[in-house]
Amino acid sequence: MTLRILFLGENWFGSCARACCQALRRLGHDVADVDVQTLVPQLRSRAARLMVRLAGRHLVAEYNRLVLDLGARFEPDVLVAFKAPLLQARTLRTLRSRGVALYNYYPDTSVLAHGGILPEALPEYDCVFFTKRFTEADARRHLRLRASTVVPHGYDPEIHARWPLSARDRKQYGHDAIVAATHTPHKEAVLDALVASMPELDLRIWGNVWNERCRSSRLRPYLEGAALNGTAYARALQAARINLAVMSGQVAGASQGDETTTRTFEIPACGGFMLHERSGELLELFDEDREVACFTGVGELIEKMCFYLAHPDARARIAERGHARCVPAYSYDVRMRALLDWHGAAAAGAGGRA
């Protein structure tokens, strides 16, 4: 049965929210989406960001009116919010009164580190789909959720694929190792220790706020600045000899650091070789030394870097097997199907429509 789905998230090319929205369309549903960046754009300068913060209360009100207005016109069966940190609890209550089933796909490690709107809103959803088990457990300790379950991150088949690489791609991205991820103190500490021991390593770091927040003078020469997005990101993952998947580390409101991230799925989907921080969640998804290479601590990271740089055949075998495990089993199409299967079961159990 075709559902009318109102989707909330960021719609820039390469975002996980857009990937989920497009997956719902590929699954055959009628999707209307509200892109929060039409009201709250990504801005770089401090002055511009300050202007947005000063207008914050008005932007939140405008965003919620926009959602309610589109909901009244579109008459959705289901709302799927990708985190949606600006969506207010009273907006969700209004949508529920109109018969809309309410779901949140929650990608972050903490429900308490993103302002006060989210903790008030999450209990209003019929189910919150967390991408990490410990985040679900943390949320249940702090919030009275109606229902929750775990549906991991995935990859976007429109973007994360094996693309033909040009000579320019190989020159720009074909480094010994790359990191394509937003800065966090944990990532900085791991990479600083790595280059201290391997100063000649051909390493490049792409990602948000590295230039602004990185304090390591050793890492400065390796910074490329802004994030890689879209197919440029996919090509970089494919071209690099080693893709380092360093986790974010623990953040405020979380009981631990993350064990998987979007890169856990995107790197193998692009056919890249992945050297990932070892975790229990990871090893439920991939077989170590067969589909993924792992490390715990900087000593083992350096050991594995040296080994795999010297053994390209081993890298190729692991990358090929990791790709086969990931594609198509870990796509966002599969993740969104799991969300809608939950909806169908809940609707059937309540005697409602699915």
Where in the chain are the domains?
4-154+331-348, 167-326
The pLDDT value recorded for residue 321 is: 98
* Residues 6 or more apart whose Cβ sits within 8 Å of residue 111: 118, 119, 122, 135, 138, 139, 142, 143, 253
CATH number of 167-326: 3.40.50.2000
Q: Is residue 230 within a helix (H) or strand (E), and if so which, with residue range?
A: helix 230-239
The pLDDT value recorded for residue 39 is: 73
250 vs 59: CA distance, rounded Å = 30
- For residue 30, the SS3 value is strand
List pLDDT tens digits, range 311-339: 999 999 999 999 999 999 999 999 999 99
List pLDDT tens digits, range 113-143: 888 899 999 999 999 999 999 999 999 999 9
The pLDDT value recorded for residue 252 is: 82
Q: Which residues of the chain are modeled with pLDDT < 70? A: 40-56, 351-354
* pTM attached to this predicted model: 0.93
The pLDDT value recorded for residue 42 is: 60
Q: 130, 29, 65, 160: which is closest to 7 by C-alpha?
A: 29
206 vs 18: CA distance, rounded Å = 21
The pLDDT value recorded for residue 50 is: 54
CATH number of 4-154+331-348: 3.40.50.2000
Q: 327, 227, 207, 205: which is closest to 272 by C-alpha?
A: 327
Record the tokens describing residue 295, joined without a space.
Answer: 């490390």
Record the tokens describing residue 47, joined without a space.
Answer: 């002055």
267 vs 39: CA distance, rounded Å = 31
The pLDDT value recorded for residue 45 is: 54
